């Protein structure tokens, strides 16, 4: 079973629909016991970083997820805000600590070109920075759908496996062992997004 983590933020039904479309059974859950039994996890999210972390803590999910990911090595995919929560901290509305599974901060997106609007909404090329199972069978430079105001800085240790240029380069995808994340929305990225989800669910 694929656990889609419900912490009160995110387009959960869209993610579940995409998981189902690529042939897997998923469950939307905020129950720590139910999530502890899942073989893979997806942490979606749309909204603000501080609220996301507060909701994870309030629902008692941080400890169970940390055990699943760090001790049991269960694969997890963070999407959009869920991706940002994988980082060390964020400057959104002050400074808030994240889950700390990716050694990088999250900061506001500030394109070099003042004509580029923030939030960054729409389709952009993702350049593959290194080999990663997420991109198996997907062309380098394929288009994915983004909606975000904050970005993860390029992490240390070479765990950025995909980047995007929007008036400056930022992290579009990461892999750190069993921890995966995408700033873009695979569930909204048509065939390339479904292929990436299938790769995560089949090959990790």
Terminal-to-terminal C-alpha distance of the chain? 14
| Active-site annotation holder among 120, 164, 187, 192 | 187
Do the Cβ atoms of 50 and 57 come closer than 8 Å? no
Nearest to 16 by CA among 7, 6, 27, 8: 27
CA 48 to each of CA 82, 85, 115, 131, 160: distance values in angstroms, whole numbers, following the listed order: 10, 10, 24, 31, 22
Give yes or no: 92 in active site: no
| Active-site annotation holder among 38, 120, 185, 192 | 185
Give yes or no: 185 in active site: yes
Rounded (to 5) percent helix, strand, coil in the chain = 30, 30, 40
Give yes or no: 80 in active site: yes
| Active-site annotation holder among 38, 80, 132, 164 | 80
Do the Cβ atoms of 38 and 74 come closer than 8 Å? yes
The C-alpha angle 85, 45, 145, rounded to 5 degrees, equals 105
Q: What is the DSSP letter of 31?
A: -
Catalytic residues: 80, 185, 187
């Amino acid at each position: 079973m694929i656990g889609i983590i419900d912490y009160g933020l995110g387009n959960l039904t869209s993610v579940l629909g995409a998981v189902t479309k690529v042939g897997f059974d998923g469950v939307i859950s905020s129950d720590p016991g139910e999530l502890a039994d899942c073989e893979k996890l997806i942490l979606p999210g749309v909204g603000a970083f501080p609220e996301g972390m507060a909701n994870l803590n309030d629902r008692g999910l941080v400890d169970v997820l940390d055990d699943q990911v760090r001790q049991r090595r269960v694969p997890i995919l963070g999407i959009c805000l869920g991706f940002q929560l994988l980082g060390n901290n964020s400057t959104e509305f002050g400074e808030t600590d994240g889950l700390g599974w990716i050694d990088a901060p999250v900061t506001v997106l500030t394109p070099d070109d003042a004509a580029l609007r923030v939030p960054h909404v729409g389709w952009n090329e993702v350049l593959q920075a290194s080999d990663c199972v997420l991109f198996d069978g997907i062309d380098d430079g394929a288009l994915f759908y983004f909606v975000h105001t904050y970005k993860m800085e390029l992490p240390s240790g070479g765990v950025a496996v995909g980047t995007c240029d929007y008036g400056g380069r930022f992290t579009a995808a990461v892999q750190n062992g069993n921890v995966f994340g995408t700033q873009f929305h695979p569930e909204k990225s048509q065939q390339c997004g479904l292929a990436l989800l299938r790769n995560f669910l089949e090959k990790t």
